[in-house]
Amino acid sequence: MLTKREAGAQFPFTSTTITDMAMGQKTIFEAVVSRVQELREQIHYHNYRYYVLDDPVISDPEFDRLLKELSRLEEEYPQLVTPDSPTQRVGAPPLDKFETVPHRQPMLSLENAFSEAEVREFDKRLKRFLRTSEEFHYVVEPKMDGCAVELVYENGRLTVGSTRGDGYRGENVTQNLKTIHTIPLEMLRHKQPPPELLEVRGEVYIDLEDFKKLNEQRLAQGEAAFANPRNAAAGSLRQLDPNITAGRPLKIYCYGVGEVQGRTFTRHWEVLEALREWGFRVNPLIEPAQGIEAAIAYHHRLEHERHGLPYEIDGMVIKVDSLALQDRLGTKARSPRWALAYKFAATQATTRVLKIEVNVGRTGAVTPMAVMEPVEVGGVTVSRATLHNEDEVARKDVRAGDFVLVQRAGDVIPEVVKVILEDRPKDARPFQMPKICPVCGTPLVRPPGEKVTRCPNPDCFGRKGSEFEGGALPRRIEHFASKTAMDIDGLGKEMILKMVSEDLVKDVSDLYKLTAEELITLTEKPDKKKKSGKLANKIIKAILNSKNPTFWRLVNALGIRLVGEAQAQILAQHFQKLEDLGEASEEKLKDIEGIGEKRAASIKDYFENQKNKEIIKKLRDAGVQERPPERRAASPLAGKSFVFTGGLARLSREEAKAMVTARGGKVSSSVSAKTDYVVVGAEPGSKYARAKELGVETLNEAEFEELIRRSG
């Protein structure tokens, strides 16, 4: 990281103030004019560092000071306010309607291809057209799924910005586009001068994470959610009041130019490089590709990577790099001959909801699921989709019998996007969350302010893992014996199920009473006596060996609601014995960072429960005794820095962070060259792209868990 002074030294502009200036040589007004100019250049540059490069060289307060100074001067000297001043990004008055503006060159669309055969045919067609057998240099780009815009710069200043419209005329949305921080109001000049006229083309879009937040906000305010990020981007751009647009998390990636005067280019790649130097945001995933096979290989890679990207793409674009060849190839009616959109297979499909079921999870959480007629989505057959919780079902108003649009994003469970209301059967009734647990009959609870409905019965037979049939107790034993709990090696699912069905184990403490003989009877197969004896002995040994776990493993093993491995590790920093934890006041627990109110209450509930008290006593009687907390300094993760992006499926963000900090690692919120690992979940943010750019090691959730496991 640069110190401020170093950053200042690298910074291409000076930072004098008016009072520093030699007043004798200039009138005050001249000094103001030049200071205003200087401030604008500095602000444009720092905007670019912050929003486009994601690599600021001054702090936020320093930036604010520059902006404030400029606003103050402009207030005092309103005649100096220009439309491209950074103070003018927001605050323009609402319009009655949009004017339309012509595009100097039409904004064409792209021909689509959906298969490798079509893509190879495109390449052949170009070769035939140009009568050549030489391989083309292509440029391959992600096809952003947003809203196309044109930005007109005259002598480096943004003058007009418009939507694509009918391709020949678009709506003048200049004021709205100006609110997007990744759009330069003024082109940077420090690498090359701006041409007299430049029409920049690009896609305005919204990151998936921002889209989710935007929809949550809208729902909280009683407004309708946007169906997808593309609609949200287009809708936000077409607001008559720029102040509304300013509040929307819009971004841009620029991918080409229209009319250019005062500068010539020979290759598309050169155009992209120049755009970067002028301060435009260009997708770092754009690559050159030598020949059509390289372009097809890029499609394969992109198809894999797309689910890790912070934004939606619907395919790739293949473009002939040479502008001379582009000219020779020319255009067809609506699309250029030199480019092709190679789309991905649809990840959405429609199907019918047969019924809505509720599932009970290990913690007792009750989740509604749509059971659907099987349908293929993005190459995978799906028949169930999560509906998350009661509020979500109500929001989407999904009913048994409805036709729904389902989508798969990455490897996450498919979800219902929306109901196709026109096809709703007349007798479809709204979903009602059951009042009692469908498995054990206990009345369900939904604490005020929480979204999750729960079955409060700790012995509910439905508290089973998704693939673990057999009820609550086997699942609890499996958790108790797992690697990050008591670590009882060799105790497999099948064996646990037998123990439970033979009534040998009625709660986890009974494990310590098992004898090898009893186990042999469970594993016995007439012809494999010897083998089962060996296995039984191995398990008994593992059970005995598990009697002295570290404190956090024991706490994790108990399966206290909302307390997993990470919280157990946090608690281990404050307590050394189970009894101390059991006696701790709710007040004390809730003040521990990473525990909080809900977990504190759940811990109290657990230790106050008579059955649990008995289990703990029985564990003690059996000789289970925790070791004092392990020293963490020796962990290989000590001092390593982690950044998280995207949703994790098995862990909460908080849990994952605690796993790192408990091992002496650090968690930070932004990726830099010093970051050791970026943990990438579903629908990650821009941090993922940043990690790739910087070559920082990325881990998926499973790899992260493995790393944690290996580091003790």
Q: How far is the CB of 264 from ligand IVH (least distance, A)?
A: 19
Interaction residues for ligand IVH, span 635-694 (CB under 6 A): none
For ligand IVH, which stretch binds (CB under 6 A), given 18-26, 136-144, 295-303, 560-568? 136-144
Q: How far is the CB of 309 from ligand IVH (least distance, A)?
A: 13
- The DSSP code for 387 is -
Q: How far is the CB of 250 from ligand IVH (least distance, A)?
A: 14
The answer to whether the beta carbons of residues 4 and 60 sit under 8 Å apart is no
Burial letters for 588-616: b for 16+ Cβ neighbours within 10 Å, e otherwise? ebbebebbeeebbbbbbbbbeeeebeebb
Q: How far is the CB of 688 from ligand IVH (least distance, A)?
A: 19
Q: How far is the CB of 556 from ligand IVH (least distance, A)?
A: 47
Residue 584, number of CB atoms within 10 A of its CB: 18
Whole-Å CA distances, 61 to 57, 65, 67: 12, 6, 10
Residue 332 designated active-site:
no
The answer to whether the beta carbons of residues 484 and 557 sit under 8 Å apart is no
For ligand IVH, which stretch binds (CB under 6 A), given 102-110, 369-377, 597-605, 688-696? 102-110
Q: Is 268 in the site for ligand IVH (CB under 6 A)?
A: no
Q: How far is the CB of 62 from ligand IVH (least distance, A)?
A: 35
What is the per-residue DSSP string for 24-93?
TTS-HHHHHHHHHHHHHHHHHHHHIIIIISS--SS-HHHHHHHHHHHHHHHHH-GGG--TTSGGGSS-PP
For ligand IVH, which stretch binds (CB under 6 A), given 140-148, 450-458, 672-680, 690-698? 140-148
Q: Is 315 in the site for ligand IVH (CB under 6 A)?
A: no
Q: Is 148 in the site for ligand IVH (CB under 6 A)?
A: yes
Burial letters for 344-376: b for 16+ Cβ neighbours within 10 Å, e otherwise? beebebbbbbeebebbbbbbbbbbbbbebeebe
Joined together, the tokens standing for residue 192 give 């090359």
Which of 252, 317, 519, 572: binder of ligand IVH (CB under 6 A)? 317
Task: With both helix axes pointing from N to C terminus, report the angle between 493-501 and 472-481 in degrees, rounded to the nearest 10.
Answer: 130
Which of 38, 74, 141, 705: binder of ligand IVH (CB under 6 A)? 141
For ligand IVH, which stretch binds (CB under 6 A), given 271-279, 334-342, 538-546, 672-680? 334-342
In the complex with ligand IVH, the residue whose CB is nearer, 148 or 555, is: 148
For ligand IVH, which stretch binds (CB under 6 A), given 139-147, 217-225, 295-303, 645-653? 139-147
Phi and psi torsions of 115, nearest 5°: -140, 160
The answer to whether the beta carbons of residues 560 and 480 sit under 8 Å apart is no
Rounded Cα distance between 440 and 462, Å, is: 7
What is the per-residue DSSP string for 272-328?
HHHHHHTT----TT-EEEESHHHHHHHHHHHHHHGGGSSS-EEEEEEEESBHHHHHH
In the complex with ligand IVH, the residue whose CB is nearer, 338 or 575, is: 338
Interaction residues for ligand IVH, span 106-125 (CB under 6 A): 108-110
In the complex with ligand IVH, the residue whose CB is nearer, 254 or 619, is: 254
Q: How far is the CB of 148 from ligand IVH (least distance, A)?
A: 3
End-to-end, the C-alpha distance of the chain in Å comes to 31
For ligand IVH, which stretch binds (CB under 6 A), given 137-145, 264-272, 416-424, 659-667? 137-145
In the complex with ligand IVH, the residue whose CB is nearer, 150 or 415, is: 150
Could you tell me which residues come within 8 angstroms of residue 243 by beta carbon, excluding any fewer than 6 positions away?
Answer: 90, 91, 94
Q: Is 256 in the site for ligand IVH (CB under 6 A)?
A: yes
Residue showing tokens 């389902």:
406
In the complex with ligand IVH, the residue whose CB is nearer, 339 or 522, is: 339
Rounded Cα distance between 313 and 308, Å, is: 11
Return the SS3 of 102.
strand
In the complex with ligand IVH, the residue whose CB is nearer, 143 or 267, is: 143
Q: Is 164 in the site for ligand IVH (CB under 6 A)?
A: yes
Which of 63, 98, 255, 575: binder of ligand IVH (CB under 6 A)? 255
* Closest C-alpha to 184, from 205, 159, 162, 203: 159
Q: Is 336 in the site for ligand IVH (CB under 6 A)?
A: yes
In the complex with ligand IVH, the residue whose CB is nearer, 342 or 552, is: 342
Q: How far is the CB of 207 from ligand IVH (least distance, A)?
A: 15
In the complex with ligand IVH, the residue whose CB is nearer, 69 or 303, is: 303
**Cα R_g (the chain), whole angstroms:** 31
Q: How far is the CB of 47 from ligand IVH (least distance, A)?
A: 23
Return the SS3 of 578.
helix
In the complex with ligand IVH, the residue whose CB is nearer, 282 or 648, is: 282
Which of 199, 203, 565, 701: binder of ligand IVH (CB under 6 A)? 203
Which of 80, 198, 246, 341: binder of ligand IVH (CB under 6 A)? 341
Joined together, the tokens standing for residue 469 give 């049939």
In the complex with ligand IVH, the residue whose CB is nearer, 336 or 465, is: 336
Q: Is 318 in the site for ligand IVH (CB under 6 A)?
A: no
Q: How far is the CB of 256 from ligand IVH (least distance, A)?
A: 5
In the complex with ligand IVH, the residue whose CB is nearer, 109 or 548, is: 109
Q: Which residue has its beta carbon closest to ligand IVH?
A: 148
Interaction residues for ligand IVH, span 485-504 (CB under 6 A): none
Q: Is 231 in the site for ligand IVH (CB under 6 A)?
A: no
Joined together, the tokens standing for residue 5 give 């002074």
Could you tell me which residues come within 8 angstroms of residue 520 by beta carbon, excluding any fewer than 6 positions away?
Answer: 529, 532, 533, 536
Question: Catalytic: which of 143, 418, 657, 687?
Answer: 143
The answer to whether the beta carbons of residues 271 and 265 sit under 8 Å apart is yes
Count of residues that interact with ligand IVH, criterion CB under 6 A: 15
Do you know the residue count of the chain? Answer: 712
Could you tell me which residues come within 8 angstroms of residue 332 by beta carbon, excluding any fewer than 6 positions away?
Answer: 111
The answer to whether the beta carbons of residues 207 and 29 sit under 8 Å apart is no
Which of 70, 92, 144, 578: binder of ligand IVH (CB under 6 A)? 144
Return the SS3 of 664.
coil
In the complex with ligand IVH, the residue whose CB is nearer, 144 or 400, is: 144
For ligand IVH, which stretch binds (CB under 6 A), given 104-112, 398-406, 425-433, 704-712? 104-112
Which residues contribute to the site for ligand IVH (CB under 6 A)? 108-110, 141, 143-144, 148, 164, 203, 255-256, 317, 336, 339, 341
Catalytic positions: 143
